[in-house]
Structures are given as C-alpha cells and as structure tokens.
Amino acid sequence: MSRAITTSVLIAAAPSRVWSVLMDFDSYPSWNPFIQSLKGEKRLGGRLEAIIVPPGRKPATFTPVVVEYVPERVFCWRGSLPIPGLFTGEHRFALTPEAAGTRFEQSESFSGLLVPLVGGILRDSERGFRAMNDALKSRAESA
C-alpha cells in the first residue's frame, strides 16, 4: 500500500535565498510550524534527527537518512520503522526556478503495511506541509 502528499508554493525569491532559509536548520524553531527541529548532516547519506509536529498532534521524532542532495534544487530523506515493510516515508523538498522566483514543492511518499491505518496523520501532515510552505515563503521573501 502507498500514499503520497504533494504541496507547492511560489516564492518571490531566488532559489539561492529559499535554499539558504531551508538549510538553516538552527532557525527552524523560530519560523517553522511543522518541523520543530532538524539536526544532522546536510549531505547524501547523512543522518538526521527531525521533530515533526503535525497540526493537532503531538511531536514525533524521526531519524531518517538523506537520500538525495542537490544544492539549491533537492533535499530528500527517507525514514522507516525497524521492521522492513511496515512503514517507510520519503520526504522531499524541491526548488524549481521560475520567472517570478522559485517554485517550492514539499512532498512525501508513504509505503508499507501500516499506511492504511494512518490516514488521519497524513491529512494533518498535509496541513503541516502547507503551513511550513507559507512560513518559508514569508521568511524567504522578507529578507
């Protein structure tokens, strides 16, 4: 079983500016309503620790691995439960230059046996994605 969430927003700022805000993990607590904390290695194969707070839910801590890293273009991590096949999530941020600035896309694909049981969490996560997108837009455009 698999499911996916995809959201996007147009940001009136250059990809370099959006990337700079996105990669400044230390500042997340001051502006990011969805990813409360993100720490770790910003490189392919790097380990991260993420504290995610979907609207209306308690914080959840994940320890994913960076599976795609292209500066000013893509940052993607994958995390899963210890038992293979139960639940895997791949979270992706993509930046695309456009005439009016940068198209920021945040998505996550979910797979595994537990996916049918987490529908409410996925809906709340999508709301969290949108809130983060709006906050990123505001922060990147204000500099």
Q: Is the pLDDT of residue 119 over 80?
A: no
Q: What is the pLDDT of residue 85?
A: 87
Query: Phi and psi at residue 47, in whole multiples of 5°?
Result: -95, 140
Q: Is the dihedral of CA 116, 120, 124, 130 positive or negative?
A: positive
Q: What is the pLDDT of residue 81?
A: 86
Reported as a single tens digit per residue, the pLDDT across 5-28 is 999 999 999 999 999 999 999 999
Q: What is the pTM of this model?
A: 0.93
The pLDDT score that the predictor gives to residue 18 is: 99
User: What is the reported pLDDT for 64?
Assistant: 97
CA distances from 52 to 13, 14, 33 (A): 26, 26, 9
Any idea which residue has 């990669």 for tokens? 23
- The single-letter code of the amino acid at 113 is L
Residue range 2-142 in CATH 3.30.365.10? no
* pLDDT value at residue 79: 94
Which tops the pLDDT comparison, 143 or 11?
11
Torsion (CA) 9, 77, 27, 18 in degrees, nearest 10 = -40
Q: Which of 124 and 70 is assigned the larger pLDDT? A: 70
E-strand stretches of 1-143:
2-11, 35-40, 48-52, 60-62, 65-70, 74-80, 88-98, 101-111
Under 8 Å between Cβ of 72 and 16: yes
Q: Tell me what pLDDT residue 115 has.
A: 84
Give me the residue spans of the domains in the chain.
2-142
Residue 65 near residue 46 (C-beta atoms within 8 A):
yes
| 117/60: higher pLDDT | 60
Chain centroid offset of residue 87 CA = 17
